[in-house]
Structure 1
Amino acid sequence: MTARRGRLLAAVTTVAVALALGGFALRGGASTPDDPAPAAATVPSTASPAPAAVDASAPPVIVPGRPGEEAVERPADEVRNDSPPRYNNLDTWFVRMMIPHHEQALEMAGLAADRAAEPRVRALADRIRASQGPEIGVLRAWLTARGLAAAVDGHDHATMRGMQSAEAMRRLAAARGAEFDSLFLRMMTEHHEGAVVMATDVLKVGLDLTVEQFATSVASEQSVEIARMRDILPS
């Protein structure tokens, strides 16, 4: 693990542990069974990404010459990076699982507009929709660039950390006013806590830089939102 990744993981873990100590469980709500990461998470993938388009206006690239020869400038579109991508099974697992995880968060947030009584709950729901909607596009693009399918045949997404049960989602959709606010805050807090754990896991052994940056953002931003929801939730 690099020193940079170690510092990122230490910071994220500190926040996650602090939040967990003040956590609360959803009473009579969704189940939260663990969704274990792939056993071969540390084995690098050999898949190659689709070639990226090169900006014709990009500055020239300096190419080292052979022994005894000077370096030369070459147009950027003539120089291609043939190094294999560095990502592994856990990177892929995280991306694939985070898509339905985000989709459920969007479903929950979409209910708040005409059901929530607390303005801060509606504002939080709007923030979740504004951030996680585009993030799903980033995740799908990551898979597409590597020729990977988004879906995993036979996988039960309900087993992921933080995912809310169908029954809990029905109760949330049927609730209004203060009852909705309370259910939403408890369910979304649990949902975010699951995402933080998933992000922390991939930061430990994932290889891909984009996934590392994404997971760091998820862990930090959703930890902040967890703290906000706990402040709003009536004691």
Structure 2
Amino acid sequence: MRHRIAGAAAVAAVVVVAAGTLTGCGGDEPEAAPSRTVLVPGRPGEPNKTRVAGPSRAPLPTPAEVRFVQMMIPHHAQALEMSKLAPERASDQRVRSLASRIDAAQKVEIAAMRSWLEHNSEAVLKAYGKNHGGHHTGMPGMATAEQLKQLREARGTAFDRLYLNLMITHHQGALTMVKDVLDRGTNVTVQELARDVQSTQLAEIGRMRGLLAKG
């Protein structure tokens, strides 16, 4: 019972973080101060001058940040596809619990990332021109069609081991994507999302390896 409560609390924490990090979208940068007139001292012998100091527009998210968000959506979607099989096929309650956490947290993140893209259409257009969808081929860590078929056909302990191994590889792929985007942009939201993905999935990889070791 204690484990179940802890798991539920962890999921709730992830959901709150994701919602708080991304759902603001258009307002994720601090609001600029209103314009004002300031006095600029002149050089010796010259009169002082005045100028208007106004808010500067926050820079657009970089193409690397746009691609990260766009690619992370289908990457998360495959994790959901794998995790929804666990309730009926996994034999280990710990595997079912892990799959449930992944499903709950990544559904929230997908919705938030889609909202972020809608609110940053100018950056998307700049990154891809008229091809808003971008290109998502070759994402690291993605399971192949054959591996997904094997997972759908597996049951019991065979499912548990295959699910854990595939998900470890999947998470490692996400960490590669995070490494590529971290510090390659200025958008607070995307940088926070990347670090959240990094910390969460590193922890889950450790837990999954522990489950495999215990057999």
User: Does the alignment reach a TM-score above 0.5?
Assistant: yes
Which of the residues 217, 221, 230 maps onto 2:196? 217
Where do 4+ consecutive residues of structure 1 move more than 6 Å?
Answer: none
Displacement of 1:139 in angstroms is 1.0
Matches within 5 A, 1:79-158: 83-147=57-121, 148=124, 151-152=133-134, 155=135, 157=137
Q: Is 2:172 the counterpart of 1:200? A: no
CA–CA distance in 2 between the matches of 1:177 and 1:171? 13
Count of matched residue pairs: 165
Q: Is 2:10 the counterpart of 1:64? A: no
Q: Which runs of 5+ in 2 are unaligned?
A: 1-24, 28-32, 41-53, 126-131
CA–CA distance in 1 between the matches of 2:76 and 2:204? 14
Deviations 1:143-201 (A, max 9, x none): 1111137622xx353x2100000110010011010000000000000000000111111
What is the DSSP-based 3-state SS (H/G/I as helix, E as strand, rest coil) of the residue aligned with 2:100?
helix
TM-score, with structure 2 as normaliser: 0.70
CA–CA distance in 1 between the matches of 2:211 and 2:38? 65
Larger radius of gyration: 2
Retained in 1: the 8 A contact 2:34–2:55? no
Retained in 1: the 8 A contact 2:143–2:166? yes
The CA RMSD measured in Å over matched residues stands at 2.5
Q: More deviation in 161-170 or 81-90? A: 81-90
Higher relative contact order, chain-length normalized (CA < 8 Å, sep 6+): 1
Q: Which runs of 5+ in 1 are unaligned?
A: 1-49, 53-60, 69-79
Displacement of 1:137 in angstroms is 1.2
TM-score, with structure 1 as normaliser: 0.64
